[in-house]
Amino acid sequence: MMVRDLGQVDLLPTLEAMQTFTEQRHSDSPDELWLCEHPPVFTQGLAGKASHVLDARNIPVVQTNRGGQVTYHGPGQLVAYPLLDLKRAGYFVKEYVYRLEDALLRTLATFGVIGHRVAGAPGIYVRLYDPHSHALLPQRPQCQNRQPSDSASSGQIGPTPYPGPIHAPQTPNLTGLGKIAALGIKVSRNCTYHGVALNVSMDLSPFSNINPCGYVGLQTVDFSTMGITAELEQVKQVLSQKLVSHLLP
């Protein structure tokens, strides 16, 4: 996978470039991982409701073709766009999402923060009052055969094996949690674009002008909120390594 560091780039030209790359790629095209920051912007997913944007003020709202509801991008947030051929990788969309989340969990653990999955709510969350706790969440994803770890506390070095189909409730329980990483993807012709956003050290106030990811009152946090001092470049290096290794066929 070729890794490209784009620096700070406007959202729309980047999305257009991803679409063009995906439309023009062929079976031998190498996969790529684009890393960047965006100037302040709200983005709506395909299912996005206008009512979830409470007060955009002077921040543009951009309609996109990714999944999910509204979120915010801004300086101090690390955005990663994997451009991956899933057919060649040999796994399906649900496992792709699981691998993305696992890479985020392992990245957070590297910096001493324990992240968690929540059933029915894609992305990664932390306990607001105990971000270093390894205790499993009661609202973690669960499946009939076994219970996958919702955090990166299992001690494994490599990716956590995909557990298979997971039961997800219609209404996720986000009590006591803050969202530190968002996920929204698009798959076209078995190839992915869009990706993940990890909050490192940013102005979080614009999140109060929306219902983040469509959840009323959901608190959004970053590394700084969790008491972790980390440069964006440090986090970028770790996350890119985790994504490259976790997305291997």
Burial environment of residue 24 by CB neighbours within 10 A (0 to 12, 13 to 18, 19 or more): exposed
- 111 DSSP assignment: T
pLDDT computed for residue 154 by the predictor: 44
**pTM of the prediction?**
0.92
Of 122-126, 137-141, 198-202, minimum mean pLDDT range:
137-141
Strands 191-199 and 77-83: antiparallel
Residue in 36, 143, 191, 213 annotated catalytic: 213
User: Is-catalytic flag, 191?
Assistant: no
Bigger pLDDT: 206 vs 163: 206
Bigger pLDDT: 4 vs 147: 4
Sign of CA dihedral 44, 42, 13, 179: negative
pLDDT computed for residue 51 by the predictor: 94
Rounded to whole angstroms, the Cα distance separating 61 from 216 reads 18
Bigger pLDDT: 41 vs 156: 41
Domains delineated in the chain: 2-246 (3.30.930.10)
Checking if the pLDDT of 33 tops 70, the result is: yes
pLDDT computed for residue 100 by the predictor: 97
Checking if the pLDDT of 182 tops 80, the result is: yes
For 228, list phi and psi in degrees, rounded to 5.
-105, 120
pLDDT tens track for 222-231: 999 888 999 9
The beta-strand segments (E) located in the chain are 2-8, 32-37, 41-44, 61-63, 71-73, 77-83, 116-118, 121-127, 177-188, 191-199, 219-220
Question: How far from 116 is each of 129, 150, 158, CA to CA, in Å?
Answer: 14, 5, 17
